[in-house]
Amino acid sequence: MTTDRQARSQHPPALREVIALSLACLAYSVLSFLAKAPESVAMTHAHDVAAFESRIGLFIESSANAWLTAHPLLASLASAQYAVSFLAMTGFALVVLWRKAPASYRRARWTLVIMTIGALITYWTYPLAPPRLVPDLGFVDAVAAHTSAYSHLFGTLANPYGAMPSMHTGWSVWVAVMLGTYVWRSWWARLLLAFHPAITIVTIVATGNHYVVDAIAGCMYFLLAWLFVTITNRALPRNVRTTGETS
């Protein structure tokens, strides 16, 4: 009974978390939108990335996009997954962590925040046009073709040249690792969780929304943020670390 009461006392206030994370999401959207760069710069970077991937044998985006385009049903499913899952799964993971792993919730939340801040900085400093927006690469914009409502919203509110890093990838890896580390630790649960980032990476590449290196960067941003939060947490005095878990 005492343990249950102590566990409940570790939960950060739900309303505060909802408000804070909603405002953070809004700020992320606004700052991403404001990070728009000249099209010529974003296109130059896109050709640089495509050339680099070609040199090292990573430029699989074109063939993946052509294959997906030839399968309309799969293209529709992939577009829906791209449009919905990253935000829905991230929100789901936050709720589960808050409910089932309150002692680890703060670390997970700060990891998400810090990796996203890192992505914002990159959007401002390295604008990159996704493959679907580079005419001479010949990509079909699958998301625009199958989820017009999302594409209209994306075109209105988002930064079209914020391809690097892929936060669809970063957030999906965060979901899988946080839930697999702090909530569901069985091998089969972790295997199921791993499908989320795996499918996400396939989707972002095949739909022409990201390059392979964007996905790699998204993974790296997550790992660096988690490492930073873990080291910082361990460096704090024990009493500060304990009380801070609920903040």
CA distance 9 to 19: 20
Quick check: 82 and 204 in contact, CB under 8 A?
A: yes
CA distance 247 to 17: 9
Quick check: 197 and 172 in contact, CB under 8 A?
A: yes
pLDDT in tens, 98-142: 999 999 999 999 999 999 999 999 999 999 999 999 998 889 887
Residue 240 has pLDDT above 80, yes or no: no
* Residue ranges making up the domain that contains 151: 13-244
**Count of domains in the chain?**
1
pTM of the predicted protein model: 0.87
Report in angstroms the alpha-carbon separations of 30 from 26, 125, 158.
6, 16, 8
In which region does residue 184 sit, left (phi positive, over 0), alpha (psi from -120 to 50) or beta (all else)?
A: beta
What confidence score (pLDDT) does residue 6 get?
A: 47
Residue 152: HSE in the Cβ half-sphere, 13 Å Cα cutoff: 4
Quick check: 208 and 141 in contact, CB under 8 A?
A: yes
- Mean pLDDT check: name the lowest of 13-17, 100-104, 145-149, 198-202: 145-149
Q: Is residue 180 part of a domain?
A: yes
Of the candidates 69, 89, 88, the one whose C-alpha atom is nearest the C-alpha of residue 79 is 69
pLDDT in tens, 190-199: 999 999 999 9
The token pair that represents 38 in the structure block: 């000249």
pLDDT band at residue 158, thresholds of 50, 70 and 90? confident
- Write the DSSP string, 173-210: HHHHHHHHHHT--SHHHHHHHHHHHHHHHHHHHHTTS-
Quick check: 48 and 135 in contact, CB under 8 A?
A: no
Quick check: 93 and 175 in contact, CB under 8 A?
A: yes
When pLDDT is averaged across residues 14-41 and rounded to a whole number, the result is 83
Higher-pLDDT residue of 36 and 91 is 91
pLDDT in tens, 36-55: 778 899 999 999 999 999 99
